[in-house]
Amino acid sequence: MSDTEIVPGTGSEGEQPLAPIKGRAGMAIAVYALYLASFFVGITSIIAVILAYTSREREDFGLYTHYTFQIYTFWLGLLYSVGFGIAAAILMLLAASLGMFSMALMAVAGIALFAWFLLRCCTGLVMAIKGEPIANPESWGFVAARA
């Protein structure tokens, strides 16, 4: 994962011009909405990532950052979930010796994963509605940064 930030510019060397994305962000907003709906119907996150992949290549730089952010959100969420599942399985095996501590630790990790996913979706959604690109769509962090 890259730590470099995508900096919008005027089209000079190394920078790509940004077309306003306001009014054209409908699909990006729909992908965020599908991610949020995945809390109730899990399959919608798979539909959302497919839409993000298919839409990303057709868009300019501003919307491209949203689709990249959405794709990273899906794969990082899956990675974190698998890691959490493995840790939970190990803690369940050790539950007899660790008791309530292991259960509390699993609950905290689950809440952190939920908060991470929710904050990424909500901040990205707000930025898409405002028509703003995401500065670092490849970040592993909690929120989308403004460009």
What are the tens digits of pLDDT across the range 23-71? 678 899 999 999 999 999 989 999 999 999 998 888 777 789 999 999 9
pLDDT in tens, 99-122: 677 778 788 888 999 999 999 999
Does some domain include residue 142? no
In this prediction, residue 119 carries a pLDDT of 94
Distance CA 4, CA 26 (A): 27
pLDDT in tens, 8-26: 443 344 445 455 566 678 8
Q: Using an 8 Å Cβ cutoff, are 74 and 60 in contact?
A: no
Does some domain include residue 103? yes
Name the domain count of the chain: 1
User: Domain span at residue 117?
Assistant: 26-130
The answer on pLDDT for 83 being more than 70 is: yes
In this prediction, residue 11 carries a pLDDT of 39
Does some domain include residue 16? no
